[in-house]
Chain A
Amino acid sequence: MLTELLTPPAWVILLPLATAICLAFVRDHRQAGWINLASAAGTALLSFRLPWQQTVGALLLVDPLSAHMAILTAFVGFTTAWFSLGYIRTEATAGRLDPWHLRQYHALFQAFLGSMLLALLSNNLGVAWVALEAATISAVIVVGLSRTAEAVEASWKFFILCGVGIALALFGTIVLALAATPILGPGLPTMTWTSLATAGPQMHGTLLNLAFVFLLLGYGTKAALAPLHAWMPDAHAEGPTPVSAVLAGSIPGVALVLILRLRGLLVGNPEAISPGPPLMALGLVSILLASLSLWRRRDVKRFFAFSTVEQTGVAAFALGLGGVGATFAAILHLTLHTLAKAAVFQCVGRAAQLKGGQRFTDISGLLSRNVPLGLTLAAGIVAVAGIPPFGLFTSEFLVMAETVRLQPYLAILLGLGLVIGGWALITRLITLCTGPETPNPGPAVHWTALVPAWLHLALVLLLGLAMPESVTAWFAAIAEVAR
């Protein structure tokens, strides 16, 4: 069984974890930054081969769904490590982070990346749980690094809420194993996704329901679905920006993948409740609550964190609708949103360094003297708002079409949420980019710092304008696996 750890798919997980251990011993933060980037690039390259290395083992499960999410996570990890190189140099020069903090930062960045990939590629519910916990702990420490009162509070809140969430998820995992024991017998198979999937139809329905409720609450907290989202805005606002960029997409993404696999178990069981309505309810509440909250934010990073809650809600809602079409839309939406939001956070991080603050009163009128930064940020916000030609328009359109087909009345609420949220984004876009210019005390932003964001936005644009047939087939294969 342990020989599985020597197969190529396992390298994707082991490389970042090994780098994390090495980085804990690297004193010089410039070197650490480069090692961080090299390792993240290696991980991304290794992950691109995953679709051709699909395996089902006792430890690893590489199917289209996990391969796709792993590629996405590794790719965002790579571009963020690239972005972080310049960002961290500026933070270190400004004296906001000392060498000891920077060492922790780089080691934890890789530990976070490795744990997320482990959670995605593991075939074992218990291992996925441990990995998600490890990822949470790394993120908690990074968020608290700057040690301001706000950062300590944010990481405390993050830790307590996610700690409780993860504890509830463990209870759900135990109940699920209890439900599977009569069919699969004692031992490891009771926590293996693939054997659970075969045993799903025969499991005791009500026990499966109990497990679902706890797992949904537990992983729903990690996915930041309202009303369990309270940790997310604080963690985003106070943590270093590269972490916000990674957090925005990957933790909710991983949690939603776990919920998606769980949905498959419940759908296959004739006695269990339908997983759709609870998921749709959490999704809709997230969309409506977050889109209304957007109007009252004064902190830019907090604003975009709420927008993440909204977009994760859209994906959860689509997953709740069920069926291949809606799952296709949900995975597409999750992918595109992760890319677009990471680009936005990269720009916001730069803008906050330039303007010396992250309130809307600090950052305004970017277009008057910082044209590349302003334009990139504008493009990112337009993409997140779901306006053509960017790909999120396509995915939101697909979600809407499926809603009209399956639950026509809910389409009104969904549409309302999307319009209110998009409107708030565009209103803020106008002040951020074209409002009265605020002073620029920080270092100017060179256009090379924006290349990672351009890469992301180019992908989102490409998928919006013309989706190649092979990509469509790939997403269809994922939806087929996940249904």
Chain B
Amino acid sequence: MTHTLAYDLSHLLGGIVLVLSFALLYQRRLMSVINIYALQAMTLTAAALWQGYSQGATELYVTAIITLAAKGIAIPVALHRIVRQLKLHRAVETALGVFPSMVLGVAFVALAVLVVLPTTAQSQTLSREDLALALSVVLLGLLMMITRRSALTQVIGFMSLENGLILAAIGITGLPLLVEIAVAFLILLAAIVFGVFFFRIRERFDSLDLSHLDVVGRTQL
């Protein structure tokens, strides 16, 4: 009974993270993209808490707190401020329409399931399906980075990709804590570096649109 509950709930949470990745793909407004990213991080927090409880692993609670504090609250707040202060365009500029990117997204999820499930046939059921969900989130994050023009949405794609990595990490019993801390550090550092970048790009080009950044390609090759 408890086993099936642990199984179902972790799948449900993993599934929500994946659905939110899809939601990131079709959002048109910058503010909603940031909000959905925050929601995804919060779902991830819940998933980490649940895994910590069902595996009896206390270090996962630490991961959950780090995820909530950094990615659920701090980074979205900072991003909202950046958007307001820099008066960025509120609409998301995409390089690929909603329909093709959704189709590609579904194809990526199918790919992830086809790759992970057969290869992990002998491991514990819990981790292998979590791994398939996590890989889907990673691939959707990559897709988002490819199909968005503005630096800000690319960064959110990158961070949603990291959410997928954490989802993979928490699903595995007994993975050293090291990894979670490392990922948390990475997010922190990434945010700092990205922050620096935003201001530099802004100061150079008065825009966060990366198509302005094609100078090297055109003149120096």
Contact check, B216 vs A154: say whether CB atoms are below 8 A apart: yes
Q: Does A355 contact B (CB under 8 A)?
A: no
Specify the chain B residue showing the minimal Cβ separation from A210: B119
Secondary structure type dominating chain A contacts: helix
Which B residues are CB-close (under 8 A) to A298? 220-221
Q: Is the CB of A207 within 8 A of B120?
A: yes
In the complex, chain B residues whose CB is within 8 Å of the CB of A126: 176, 178-179, 182
Q: Is there a chain A Cβ closer than 8 Å to B53's Cβ?
A: no
* Chain B: interface size category: 35 or more
Q: Is B37 an interface residue (CB 8 A)?
A: no
**Chain A residue with the shortest CB-CB distance to B127:** A178
The interface bits of chain A over 174-196 (1 if a CB of B lies within 8 angstroms of the residue's CB, else 0) are 11011001100111101100000
A124 within 8 A of B: yes
User: A170, B220: Cβ atoms under 8 Å?
Assistant: no
Q: Is the CB of B142 within 8 A of A164?
A: yes
Interface range for A: 35 or more
Docked complex: B132-187 residues within 8 A CB-CB of A:
134-135, 138, 142, 145, 151, 154, 158, 161-162, 164-165, 168-169, 172-176, 178-179, 182-183, 185-186
A152-B200, A210-B116 known; A237-B168 Cβ under 8 A: no
| A228 adjacent to chain B (CB < 8 Å) | no
* A186→B186 contact, CB < 8 A: no
A-contacting residues, B113-140, CB 8 Å? 115-116, 118-123, 127, 131, 134-135, 138
Does A159 touch B at the CB level, under 8 Å? yes
Q: Give the residues in chain A near B185, CB-CB below 8 Å.
A: 130
Residues in chain A near residue B214, CB distance under 8 A? 153
A147 & B204 in contact (Cβ 8 Å cutoff): yes
Which of A34-42, A63-71, A137-145 makes up part of the contact surface?
A: A137-145
Complex Cα distance A149/B176, Å? 42
Q: Contact at A152–B174, with CB atoms within 8 Å?
A: no
Taken together as a complex, chains A and B put the C-alpha atoms of A8 and B74 apart, in Å, by 40
Q: Are A174 and B168 in contact (CB under 8 A)?
A: yes
Contacts of B134 in A (CB 8 A): 171
Interface window among B15-23, B39-47, B81-89, B189-197: B189-197
The verdict on B201 contacting chain A, using a C-beta distance below 8 Å, is yes
Kindly provide the distance from the CB of A428 to the nearest chain B CB, expressed in whole angstroms: 16
Interface pair B176/A137, CB less than 8 Å apart:
no
Q: Given the complex of chains A and B, what is the CA–CA distance between A150 and B200 in angstroms?
A: 12
Q: Which residue of B lies closest to A206 (CB)?
A: B119
Shortest Cβ distance from B121 into A: residue? A206
Specify the chain A residue showing the minimal Cβ separation from B154.
A160
Query: CA of A150 to CA of B165 in the docked complex: distance in angstroms?
Result: 32
B103 within 8 A of A: no
- Contact: A133 with B186, CB < 8 Å? yes
Cβ distance A73 to chain B, nearest Cβ, rounded Å = 22
A167 touches B119 (CB 8 A): no
Contact between chains at B165 and A207 (CB < 8 Å): no
What is the interface of chain B, defined by CB distance below 8 A to chain A? Answer: 115-116, 118-123, 127, 131, 134-135, 138, 142, 145, 151, 154, 158, 161-162, 164-165, 168-169, 172-176, 178-179, 182-183, 185-186, 189-190, 193, 196-197, 200-201, 204-205, 210, 213-216, 220-221
19 contacting pairs across A/B (C-beta < 8 A): A126-B179, A127-B178, A137-B193, A144-B200, A152-B204, A152-B213, A153-B216, A170-B179, A181-B172, A186-B173, A187-B174, A191-B178, A204-B122, A206-B119, A206-B121, A210-B119, A237-B216, A298-B220, A302-B221
The 4 closest A-B pairs by CB, nearest first: A186-B174, A206-B119, A153-B213, A126-B178
